[in-house]
Amino acid sequence: MSESKCIIASRFRFVNDSLKEIIKSFCPDMDFVTVNSVEGILSNLCPEQEQFIVIDRYIFGLFIEEEFKKIISIHPTIKVFCIMDDVCERYFGLRLMRCGCNCIIYYLGEDTTFIDQLRSAFEGRKVIPDTIRDALEKREYLLMPDCVGSLTKREIEVLALMVNGKSIKQICLNLKLAHGTVASLRSRIMKKLGVSNSFETIRIASSYGYTYARSFECF
């Protein structure tokens, strides 16, 4: 067994294969395993071994904090690198960093830039988008609105569906809830977020990354 191991986690096999080949080019002696879920990550953790996780953003569900907590509780010293394919919203990036993510790397740009950033991450450098770095330096995480954190799990599920453009009827069908229940949850969400319309609700939810929820991509 190698002294170090990389767990590559993406729902897409071609992404897993591509990332493995790239990382292998500068870490030839590392062991690799590819998985397509958080559960797959958990089953491959070994606290006695130096390990890295390269994780596609689409692996995350609605409750990122809970998923990270499970990983860190098993392997407290693991290094987690999150791969994004578009510009990371500031609050979502701060959520990732507060959870224990070590680096955030974009697919965007030249291939050489992506590879260089990935290599830098494995060399121990802190690779973070400028917007997130600036927010961390200004300690903006202390100023993050606590409104989203006050939502219940069911309210977050409804919120994620709203962000993905689902009507109350579609939300009812997906969550198997009565129309009145969903309407009530929607009103409570808006009240907690301090907004009065769907546009502002979606804007706030998007900034926290709820557009990325894997659970509702089936529509």
Q: Is the pLDDT of residue 54 over 80?
A: yes
Return the CATH number of 4-142, one of 3.20.20.80, 3.10.620.30, 3.40.50.2300, 3.40.50.740: 3.40.50.2300
Closest C-alpha among 116, 115, 205 to residue 164: 205
Instruction: Please give the model's pTM, rounded to 2 decimal places.
Output: 0.75
Average pLDDT on 158-169 reads: 87
Q: Is the pLDDT of residue 78 over 80?
A: yes
CATH fold for domain 148-216: Arc Repressor Mutant, subunit A (1.10.10)
User: pLDDT for 176-206, tens place per residue?
Assistant: 999 999 999 999 998 888 888 888 888 877 7
Cβ burial 58-71 (10 Å sphere, 16+ → b, else e):
bbbbbebeebbeeb
Domain ranges of the chain: 4-142, 148-216
* Predicted pLDDT of residue 180: 94
Closest C-alpha among 35, 21, 27, 26 to residue 4: 27
* Predicted pLDDT of residue 136: 79
